Amino acid sequence: MFLDIHTHSLSSDANIKKVFNLDITVNTLGEDLKHFFGENESVSVGIHPWSVSEELFFEQIEILEFLAADSRVKAIGEIGLDKLKGPDLKLQEEVFLKQIRVAEAVKKPAIVHCVKSFNELIAIKKVVRPKVPMIIHGFNRKVDLAKELTQKGFFLSFGRDLLESDLVKEALKSIPLEQVFFETDDDKVLIVSQVYKTAADILKIDIEVLKDRIYQNYLELYL
């Protein structure tokens, strides 16, 4: 089975396991979010850093706590830190920490959005020491950071930038395959014929072998 660990697309495909992402925004407060799960067996739920409301984040967290235990919720995310967009970083950090605690409580991995905040993210992991895995989605940085993050126990998920950037290709080559995932996010890329295919070419391995390896990573996370 191919795996798309982070997607905003509701379309389904029998050959691809997709983890559909649902963002708890102020606009969804008061709605029956389970309704949004639709037919999806695998969902990630979280408060995106851009969606954190200074006034209403406690309500957003309450909804997350309510949804997190649902068996269809496979991960808490995307959650994280973004220095370029969203509310004040202090508030983002506070809400991020609360969501990490939710992930810990339900023993589900966190899918992390991180923009220009890797030092803060590394510092938080060092202090909080979460037992749940942290998957940094949409990784689009260089070898050095990829190595540092995987050495510190983070998982990295690659998507569109793997197709476009030689630096990101080098980053994929430099880290253990046991800590790798692939995704489409909200981009118009195809998970198998573009993302997996590109990765298999870069790594010089058969796409079927890659498929099984990545799915094994998923099974190991979700035990």
Annotated binding site for a divalent metal cation: 78, 113, 137, 185
Query: Would you count residue 4 as binding Zn ion (CB under 5 A)?
Result: no
Decide whether 9 or 165 has the Cβ nearer to Zn ion. Answer: 9
Stretch of residues binding Zn ion (CB under 5 A), selected from 91-99, 168-176, 180-188, 211-219: 180-188
Under 8 Å between Cβ of 170 and 140: no
Secondary structure (3-state) at 30 = coil
Between CA 143 and CA 75 the distance in angstroms is 26
- Where do runs of H (alpha helix) occur along the chain? 34-37, 57-68, 89-106, 118-128, 143-151, 160-164, 166-173, 197-203, 207-221
Query: Would you count residue 82 as binding Zn ion (CB under 5 A)?
Result: no
Out of 96, 150, 185, 214, which residue is the one contacting Zn ion (CB under 5 A)?
A: 185
Closest approach, Cβ 85 to Zn ion, in A, equals: 13
Please name the residue that has the structure tokens 């969203």: 86
Query: Would you count residue 183 as binding Zn ion (CB under 5 A)?
Result: no
Query: Would you count residue 161 as binding Zn ion (CB under 5 A)?
Result: no
Closest approach, Cβ 205 to Zn ion, in A, equals: 27
Cis peptide before 78 (omega within 30 of 0): yes
Residue 20 identity:
F
Decide whether 102 or 135 has the Cβ nearer to Zn ion. Answer: 135
Residue 139 identity:
F
Lookup: tokens for 125: 């992991």
Between CA 160 and CA 162 the distance in angstroms is 5
Closest approach, Cβ 212 to Zn ion, in A, equals: 25
Closest approach, Cβ 76 to Zn ion, in A, equals: 13
Closest approach, Cβ 200 to Zn ion, in A, equals: 23
Under 8 Å between Cβ of 166 and 143: no
Decide whether 93 or 183 has the Cβ nearer to Zn ion. Answer: 183
Binding site for Zn ion (CB under 5 A): 185
